[in-house]
Amino acid sequence: MAIEVRHISKTFGGFTALRDVSLEVRDGELLALLGPSGSGKTTLLRIIAGLESADPRPESAVLFEGQDVTRQDAGQRRVGFVFQHYALFRNMTVFENIAFGLRVRPRALRSSEPEIRRRVMELLELIHLQELAGRYPSQLSGGQRQRVALARALAIQPKVLLLDEPFGALDAKVRQGLRRWLRKLHDEVHVTSLFVTHDQDEALEVADRVVVTNQGRIEQVGTPEEVFHHPASEFVMDFMGHVNLFHGRIESGKAVFGPLVLHHNGSSASEGRSARLFVRPYDLDIAHHHNGKPSLRARVVRIQSAGPQVKVELESETGEPVSVETSHAQFGELRVSSGDQVFVSLRDARIFTEDYSI
């Protein structure tokens, strides 16, 4: 089921949640709507579901498989919706929760009781909770409850599956396991799915494509690799993981950031404009001596070696904090300690000005 939204805007009083948003979701795709709180991602999801209406504009539309469903309610659109806090019926067993959507269908569309039982047992097997069919939500863990919520949404065989921060209420370890499970589940059922998250790792790990939202607009749409390694804007670069930020200017065709002087491919119109240098911690190298590359002097402030990478916090000669991440093997060869004076050089970075980025 392909989905298309055209020129969607939404205001709540004086707050603009969406600003002329257009988006296409491919058939069978698992798409992540990623952004900070208040960026419009949940509002967009609810408009696609039919739980909210967009501001009335002649050019606005929501289409399912090319059919305009803008004026259809949620029931007519046949979407499955999974909320952050499960929304399970506490007085119903796991089995009855999953069967609920099948039992409340109009009589003419309702399946027979044996067919309902067969469908529920199939879903229980899919979510690996067959042995818990007779339990109540209060007897389940958070991860198990969310799996039941997903099965309940899938029971009605929705055209589209929509998930709003589905793992937000769970602890980190449970979330990590459910990410892998959701990806596997999607590959098995192959229903077009959109999920809202503010967790960059979650979006990058699970989604086929990622939509990065900010202040009611779409900043970038692309594969996880595209949005992470080729960010289209300063916001995307900053939002997609930790970065070091340096402020400078374009002078004589060069990007100057204090002691760092870098080549700049921008237009002549950039001359004299302010510039921002973004570099991820793992794209920085530490050395005891100048290695001939553009570099800055820094003092080692703190070393954190617990974890898969060694994190080194430094203070540059201009007083700016600098974060570097390196492997344990590389750090062992460096032999640096807190208080050491070192040189920090760049392997990769992005420069943004008002009119250009490299």
Q: Identify whether residues 138 and 97 lie together within a single domain.
A: yes
Give domain status of residue 262, yes or no. Answer: yes
358, part of any domain? no
pLDDT at 141 over 70: yes
* 176, 255: one domain: no
Q: Which amino acid is at 39?
A: S
How far is Cα 163 from Cα 192, in angstroms, rounded to an integer? Answer: 11
Beta bridge partners of 217: 214
Same-domain check for residues 194 and 285: no
Same domain, 151 and 262: no
Q: Is 80 exposed, middle or buried (0-12, 13-18, 19+ CB in 10 A)?
A: buried
d(CA 285, CA 307): 19
CB-based burial, 221-232: b 16+ in 10 Å, e otherwise:
bbebeebbeebb
Split at pLDDT 50, 70, 90, the class of 107 is confident
Has residue 115 got a pLDDT over 60?
yes
237-275 pLDDT, tens digit per residue, is: 999 989 999 999 999 888 999 888 888 776 665 777 899
Report if residue 133 sits inside a domain: yes
- pLDDT confidence of residue 357: 59
The whole-number pLDDT of residue 61 equals 97
Residue 353: band (very low, low, confident or very high) from pLDDT cuts 50, 70, 90: confident
The pLDDT score that the predictor gives to residue 190 is 87
Assess if residue 293 is contained within a domain: yes
Residues 327-352, mean pLDDT to the nearest whole number: 93
**pLDDT value of position 252:** 86
pLDDT of residue 358: 58
> Is residue 288 included in any domain, yes or no?
yes
pLDDT tens digits for 17-51? Answer: 999 999 999 999 999 999 999 999 999 999 999 99
DSSP 52-120: S-PPP-TT-EEEETTEE-TT--HHHHTEEEE-TT----TTS-HHHHHHHHHHTS-TTTPPPHHHHHHHH
At which of 217, 238, 259 does a domain end?
A: 238
Number of structural domains (the chain) is 2
Instruction: Indicate whether this model's pTM tops 0.75.
Output: yes
Contact status, residue 235 vs residue 203, Cβ threshold 8 Å = no
Range with lowest mean pLDDT among 52-66, 75-89, 188-202: 75-89
Domain presence at residue 357: no
CATH code, domain with 327? 2.40.50.140
18 and 59 in a common domain: yes
> How far does Cα 190 stand from its chain's mean position?
20
Q: What CA–CA distances, in Å, run from 248 to 254, 261, 284? A: 10, 10, 18
CATH number at residue 58: 3.40.50.300
- Does 72 share its domain with 170? yes
156 with 72, same domain: the answer is yes
Do residues 162 and 251 both lie within one domain? no
Specify the pLDDT at position 188.
86
User: Which pLDDT does position 169 carry in this prediction?
Assistant: 67
Same domain, 64 and 15: yes
Residues 25, 75, single domain; the answer is yes
Q: What is the mean pLDDT of residues 97-114?
A: 90
> Would you say residue 356 has pLDDT above 70?
no
Q: Which of the two residues, 342 and 126, has the higher pLDDT score? A: 342
Please indicate, yes or no, if residue 348 is contained in any of the structural domains.
yes
Domain range spanning residue 131?
A: 3-238
Q: Which of 22-36, 140-154, 163-177 shows the highest mean pLDDT?
A: 22-36
- What is the mean predicted confidence (pLDDT) over 288-314? 93
> Is residue 149 assigned to a domain?
yes
18 with 10: CB under 8 angstroms?
yes
Name the average pLDDT for the chain. Answer: 91
Instruction: Among 221, 238, 255, give the residue marking a domain's end.
Output: 238
- Name the burial class of residue 308, with classes exposed (0-12), middle (13-18) and buried (19+) by CB atoms within 10 angstroms of its CB: exposed
d(C-alpha 309, C-alpha 297), whole Å: 22
Q: Are both 257 and 220 inside the same structural domain?
A: no
Q: What is the pLDDT of residues 268-298, one digit of tens each?
A: 657 778 999 999 999 999 999 988 888 999 9
State residue 281 phi and psi, 5-degree precision. Answer: -55, -35
Q: Which of 68-77, 152-161, 164-173 has the lowest average pLDDT?
A: 164-173
Per residue in 193-230, pLDDT (tens digit) is: 999 999 999 999 999 999 999 999 999 999 999 999 99
Please tell me whether residues 175 and 249 are part of one structural domain.
no
Q: Residues 313, 281: contact at Cβ < 8 Å?
A: no
Considering 188, 214, 238, which residue would you say is the last residue of a domain?
A: 238
